[in-house]
């Protein structure tokens, strides 16, 4: 059963965010909404600029602890066109408060830098990050898509893969064939289907949305590390996660999938307010830490 705060938060997103995003035909307006979201930065962690593989980003460092270090490469969402490591401090800082050392790269954004520029940046940053020792990857929304594309590129190149991945409402199907794109057209608190479709050409340019690096649901998923997937039952993107979980399991990839009732897209930002956000972040932390401790590849 969903908490009262989840209901209230979803109502607030529907009233204040969805009308401002509209059909997302104006990318400048989309960027203002995404980049202007106001959530408090988690305290008791250190935010420090950094560069890995020539890609700028931000380190988010936990308070000193006797725990073994758990390292996380976090890929921010934002529809491929907006946001940054700075905007995603409510998530990266929450992971750091749970003891994870996080690097969040500021990959290049579309449409100025269309597909596959962001993936190229992530491969460069991850390669240096992975050289420092075993690590996991996580991402939300478009960042979840890019995390999967990153792992597919690493696998094909024979480069070190993350030990595990935690994906929050990842975009896995830019072709848009999931039933939830229609069934949840009115239920999704943040997006309408046409708005999501308008972001596709901004990211892809002339590229084919059926390219497996653009739509990882269409990729061969064999050999990917264990996955944790969290998605909202009312989201347009619900089936992007459900179908990815089914396909990954069929390919022999261990998957933990949780479909949360009521919560809106990217509810993990509201960890200071919504218990389902704290639950999602804590479950993801336990999953990543346990997989790193077990040494799963």
Q: Which residues are catalytic?
A: 141, 235, 265
Which residues lie across from 59 on neighbouring strands? 48, 103
Q: Are 267 and 280 in contact (CB under 8 A)?
A: yes
Tokens of 206: 């002339």
Tokens of 60: 């988010």
Q: Are 201 and 172 in contact (CB under 8 A)?
A: no
Which residues lie across from 256 on neighbouring strands? 228
The dihedral built from the CA positions of residue 255, 239, 191 and 11, taken in this order, carries a sign that is negative
**Strand runs (DSSP E) across 43-176, as ranges?**
46-52, 55-61, 70-75, 100-105, 136-140, 165-168
Please name which of 233, 230, 262 lies closest in space to residue 244, comparing C-alpha atoms: 230
Q: Are 132 and 71 in contact (CB under 8 A)?
A: yes
Which residues lie across from 75 on neighbouring strands? 139
* 56 three-state secondary structure: strand
| Distance between CA atoms of residues 230 and 219, nearest Å | 20
| Distance between CA atoms of residues 277 and 140, nearest Å | 13
Tokens of 48: 């420090």
Q: Do the bridges between strand 46-52 and strand 55-61 make them parallel or antiparallel, or are there none, so unpaired?
A: antiparallel
Query: What phi-psi label fits residue 249: left (phi over 0), alpha (psi between -120 and 50 degrees) or beta?
Result: alpha
């Amino acid at each position: 059963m969903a908490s009262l705060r989840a209901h209230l938060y979803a109502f607030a997103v529907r009233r204040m965010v969805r009308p401002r995003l509209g059909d997302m035909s104006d990318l400048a307006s989309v960027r203002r909404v995404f980049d202007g979201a106001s959530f408090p930065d988690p305290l008791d962690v250190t935010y420090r600029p950094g560069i890995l593989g020539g890609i700028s980003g931000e380190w988010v460092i936990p308070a000193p602890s006797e725990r073994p270090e758990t390292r996380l490469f976090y890929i921010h969402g934002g529809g491929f066109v907006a946001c940054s490591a700075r905007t995603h401090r409510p998530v990266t800082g929450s992971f750091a408060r749970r003891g994870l050392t996080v690097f969040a790269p500021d990959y290049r954004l579309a449409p100025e830098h269309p597909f596959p520029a962001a993936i190229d940046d992530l491969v460069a940053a991850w390669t240096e990050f992975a050289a420092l020792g075993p690590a996991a990857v996580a991402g939300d929304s478009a960042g979840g898509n890019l995390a999967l594309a990153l792992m597919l590129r690493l696998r094909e190149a024979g480069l070190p893969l993350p030990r595990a991945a935690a994906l929050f409402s990842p975009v896995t199907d830019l072709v848009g064939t999931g039933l939830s794109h229609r069934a949840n057209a009115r239920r999704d608190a943040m997006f309408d289907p046409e708005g999501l479709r308008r972001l596709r050409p901004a990211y892809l340019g002339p590229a084919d949305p059926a390219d497996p690096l653009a739509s990882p649901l269409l990729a061969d998923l064999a050999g990917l590390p264990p996955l944790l997937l969290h998605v909202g039952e009312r989201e347009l993107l619900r089936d992007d996660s459900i179908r990815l979980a089914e396909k990954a399991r069929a390919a022999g990839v261990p998957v933990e999938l949780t479909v949360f009732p009521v919560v809106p897209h990217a509810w993990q930002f509201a960890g200071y307010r919504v218990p389902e956000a704290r639950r999602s972040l804590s479950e993801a932390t336990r999953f990543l830490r346990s997989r790193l401790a077990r040494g799963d590849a």
